[in-house]
């Protein structure tokens, strides 16, 4: 990173409001694709997000302008998206993510994917 580039910061309970706002905005497309406004990221409440960000087992990083990098301790990146999110699935597969399993979520399935982090990758 250059000297003027922002550094990643570890998020904590005090960041829960911003995380929840971003989370809800990000999942609107998913909700529309799956015709399901009850997706957990859309129904999760502030105290739950605050609690999750306070757990030692949860590491959340944020960078204000997306030029940051993951910490060296991160060896695997895991995510999931709905089975009807063709654009997301295409993007993740092109980026090297591999489907590990599917889990039911009402009338559709969540597709879980992982990617091993290689040296220098985000």
**Helix, strand or coil for residue 36?**
coil
Q: What is the pLDDT of residues 14-65, one digit of tens each?
A: 999 999 999 999 888 888 888 888 888 889 999 999 998 988 777 777 665 5
Closest CA to 41 of 10, 79, 12: 79
Instruction: Identify which of 30, 31, 46 has the alpha carbon closest to the alpha carbon of residue 86.
Output: 30
Rg of the chain in Å (alpha carbons): 16
Residue of 67 and 82 predicted with greater confidence? 82
């Amino acid at each position: 990173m250059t000297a003027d580039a922002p550094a990643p910061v570890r998020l904590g309970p005090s960041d829960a409001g911003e995380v929840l706002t971003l989370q809800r905005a990000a999942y609107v497309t998913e909700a529309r694709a799956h015709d399901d406004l009850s997706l957990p990221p859309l129904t999760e409440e502030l105290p739950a997000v605050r609690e999750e960000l306070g757990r030692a087992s949860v590491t959340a990083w944020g960078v204000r302008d997306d030029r940051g990098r993951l910490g060296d301790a991160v060896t695997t990146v895991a995510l999931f998206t709905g089975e009807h999110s063709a654009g997301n699935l295409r993007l993740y597969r092109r980026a090297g993510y591999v489907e590990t399993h599917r889990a039911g979520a009402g009338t559709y399935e969540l597709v879980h994917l992982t990617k091993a982090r290689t040296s220098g990758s985000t």
